[in-house]
Amino acid sequence: MTHIHSRAVALSLVLPLLLLAGMVGKAEHALRGGVVIRVPITGYDPRDPLRGHFLGYRIVWNWLGGQPPAETAALCVTSRASNPPVRPLPLLGDPSCLLMVRLAPGPYRSFMPVGISDELFIPEERADSLQSALRSGGAAMTIDLAVSKDGTARLVTWHIDGRTIAEWDSRAAH
C-alpha cells in the first residue's frame, strides 16, 4: 500500500512540472516559428492598485480602407514592414495574403489577436517614469508579435521610443 502511495505522490509532483515544461516549450516554439511584426500601441494609466503595475493597451492597426466592422474575425497583414498595413480577411481566406492574424472574439471589439493579452506587466521601479511619459504623450510605444501559421500570436517584446523597457528606463534615468 505504501509503495502505491509513494508512486502516486511522486506522480502528483512530477505531472505539474511536465505540464509546465510542455507549455513553455509550446510558447517558445510559437515565438521561434512565427513571423515577427512590430505594431504601435496606445496605453493608459499603468497603475492598478488591485492588481499591481500593468499597462492596459490596444493595438493601433494601420488599416487599409478604414477600420473594418466589429465582426471581423481575422486580419491580412500585407507587408513585413514596421506598422504593416492590414485589412479584413474573408472567412474563406485569401491566398494572396502574406500573413493571417486571427482576432479574439469578445463582447467588445478591440481587434486583439488570439493569444495576446491587452495588458503588459510593468516592473514597479519603472512605473513612475512610464506613467510620466504616457501622460506627457511623448512616448511612442510598439510591440513585437510573433504570428504563427495558424494566425495566433505571442508577444515577443515591447518598446518605448524604439528601445526595450529596460533600455528606455536606463536612458531616462541619465
Position 31 scores a pLDDT of 45
pTM summary value: 0.73
Q: Closest by alpha carbon to 152, among 97, 115, 108, 98?
A: 115
Position 121 scores a pLDDT of 80
Q: Closest by alpha carbon to 39, among 100, 6, 85, 88?
A: 85
How many Å apart are CA 100 and CA 118, to the nearest integer?
19
**Amino acid symbol at 130:** L
User: Which residues of the chain register pLDDT less than 70?
Assistant: 1-3, 5, 10-11, 14-33, 44-52, 91-93, 107-109, 169-174
Q: Kindly list the distances between the CA atom of residue 75 and the CA atoms of 28, 79, 153, 155, in Å, as whole numbers in the listed order.
A: 23, 12, 12, 17
Task: Provide the H-helix boundaries in 34-164.
Answer: 124-136
Position 172 scores a pLDDT of 58
Position 18 scores a pLDDT of 60
Residue 89, Cβ density class (10 Å: 0-12 exposed, 13-18 middle, ≥19 buried) = buried
